[in-house]
């Protein structure tokens, strides 16, 4: 399947997702570092920027067979204020001591407000992260292929649980505080990314389909951020969910800190939503396209809810994905139509939001359907991985097993 897309398709799809305007779309990196939290930078294309120090460390661990021992040592390292685990190689300990902290520009007040916002709007966040961002990831070709051919792609239930652990720890009320877990979770994820960068280029299956030499560059991480934070903000505004300027600023700040902790250079991290939207127009929407790997991953992800009673049919689930993303993406993924569910969603979901937010006293006819669906979906995600203690993030030692 081709990644080539026309300008007309880029703009129409972007309009459907609410993440692109009629601005020019260019393949060249043109986003200015003046729009970053650093305010300055060399302007180097982030597609060719990785995470050099930790990449060298993890490559050495893999080469010398030290990863299993490192994973065992890190199993009890969970809370942000936990001491660094003993038994790690000295160079890894020195590295973690350096990065296991918030950036100097982190604002505790904004981080606390973001956590409170996540708690207040968790209904919509579960829906948008799970059925929006999660499925969008399968039509980001590089991400879909990297996930599919890495070890995690062979067990999407476990992969989804680990991804949810990251999001869960990010959204917790104390996630960035000493008693929280997100700083540790982010650093473990950074180690996993380094391992994948070393391992995937050794996969003949991945190298046969990819257009990049090394995966998970700074650019790739930025794309993922826009499929999460930027996309979610735009959909909340589109859905007319009350979202104050202060809450929007705090929500962005939590993602800014998260990107820094994942190894993205500050010169690439947008300083405002206007800057984030400008960056997203360049790096996300133009690259969305179907792949064989992505179609299979999407089906794996959409099959997970079958493990619990969501109170709705698979057709309803398919139509909600189409509603959140677009019919074009739904067609790419082969999501079978259910026009009765589509009509219910397109009329009932806006009414559900109005009532739930206290903007109308009229209880929508489909309120119970949506309420039960949201509750069941939330429990599904919570059961997939509520914390790093129940779903440990571990450094992989290989790629997707070959049949």
pLDDT tens digit sequence for 142-157: 999 999 999 988 888 7
Query: What's the N-to-C CA distance of the chain in angstroms?
Result: 23
**CA distances (Å), 38 to each of 30, 42, 142, in order?**
17, 11, 27
Residue 26 within a domain: no
**CA distances (Å), 258 to each of 120, 184, 225, 263, 390, in order?**
20, 11, 9, 9, 21
User: Rounded mean pLDDT of 300-314?
Assistant: 81
Instruction: Provide the domain count of the chain.
Output: 1
Residue 214 within a domain: yes
Q: Which two tokens stand for residue 346?
A: 């397109």
Residue 317 within a domain: yes
Residue 35 within a domain: no
Tell me if 231 sits within 8 A of 132, measured CB to CB.
yes
Tell me if 337 sits within 8 A of 319, measured CB to CB.
yes
pLDDT tens digit sequence for 50-104: 999 999 999 999 999 999 999 999 999 999 999 999 999 999 999 999 999 999 9
pLDDT attached to residue 24: 37
pLDDT attached to residue 132: 94
SS3 per-residue string spanning 213-254: CCCCCHHHHHHHHHHHHHHHHHHHHHCCCCCCHHHHHHHHHH
pLDDT tens digit sequence for 321-356: 999 999 999 999 999 999 999 999 999 999 999 999
Asked whether the predicted pLDDT for residue 13 surpasses 70, the reply is no
Q: Compute the distance between CA of residue 382 and CA of residue 161 in angstroms, rounded to an integer.
A: 9
Q: Compute the distance between CA of residue 15 and CA of residue 320 in angstroms, rounded to an integer.
A: 18
Q: Kindly state the DSSP code that residue 363 receives in the 8-state scheme.
A: P
Asked whether the predicted pLDDT for residue 106 surpasses 90, the reply is yes
Tell me if 300 sits within 8 A of 156, measured CB to CB.
yes
Residue 323 within a domain: yes
Asked whether the predicted pLDDT for residue 386 surpasses 70, the reply is no
- Domain around 68: 49-78+112-393
Residue 400 within a domain: no
Q: Kindly state the DSSP code that residue 209 receives in the 8-state scheme.
A: H
Residue 135 within a domain: yes
pLDDT attached to residue 304: 81
Residue 90 within a domain: no
Tell me if 135 sits within 8 A of 329, measured CB to CB.
yes
């Amino acid at each position: 399947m081709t990644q080539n897309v026309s300008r007309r398709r880029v703009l129409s799809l972007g309009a459907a997702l609410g993440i692109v305007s009629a601005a020019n779309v260019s393949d060249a990196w043109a986003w200015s570092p003046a729009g970053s939290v650093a305010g300055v930078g060399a302007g180097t294309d982030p597609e060719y920027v990785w995470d050099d120090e930790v990449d060298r460390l993890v490559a050495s661990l893999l080469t010398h067979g030290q990863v299993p021992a490192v994973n065992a040592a890190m199993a009890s390292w969970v809370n942000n204020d936990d001491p660094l685990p003993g038994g790690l190689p000295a160079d890894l300990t020195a590295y973690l001591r350096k990065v296991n902290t918030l950036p100097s520009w982190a604002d505790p007040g904004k981080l606390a407000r973001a956590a409170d916002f996540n708690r207040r709007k968790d209904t919509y966040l579960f829906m948008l992260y799970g059925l929006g961002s999660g499925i969008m990831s399968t039509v980001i070709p590089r991400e879909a292929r990297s996930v599919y051919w890495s070890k995690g792609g062979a067990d999407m239930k476990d992969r989804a649980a680990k991804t949810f652990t990251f999001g869960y720890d990010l959204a917790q009320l104390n996630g960035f505080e000493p008693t929280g877990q997100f700083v540790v979770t982010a650093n473990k994820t950074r180690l996993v990314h380094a391992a994948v960068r070393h391992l995937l280029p050794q996969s003949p299956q991945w190298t046969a389909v990819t257009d990049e030499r090394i995966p998970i560059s700074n650019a790739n991480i930025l794309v993922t951020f826009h499929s999460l934070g930027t996309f979610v903000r735009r959909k909340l505004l589109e859905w007319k969910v009350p979202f104050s300027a202060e809450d929007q600023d705090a929500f962005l700040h939590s993602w800014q800190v998260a990107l820094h902790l994942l190894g993205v250079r500050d010169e690439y991290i947008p300083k405002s939503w206007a800057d984030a939207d400008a960056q997203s127009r360049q790096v996300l929407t133009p690259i969305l396209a179907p792949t064989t790997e992505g179609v299979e991953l999407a089906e794996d992800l959409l099959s997970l809810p079958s493990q619990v009673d969501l109170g709705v049919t698979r057709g309803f689930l398919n139509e909600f994905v189409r509603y959140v993303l677009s019919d074009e993406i739904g067609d790419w993924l082969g999501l079978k139509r259910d026009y009765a569910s589509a009509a219910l969603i397109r009329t009932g979901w806006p009414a559900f939001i109005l009532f739930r937010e206290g903007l109308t006293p009229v209880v929508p006819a489909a309120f119970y359907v949506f309420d039960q669906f949201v509750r069941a979906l939330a429990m599904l995600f919570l059961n997939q991985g509520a914390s790093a203690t129940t779903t440990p993030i571990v450094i992989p030692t290989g790629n997707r097993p070959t049949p």
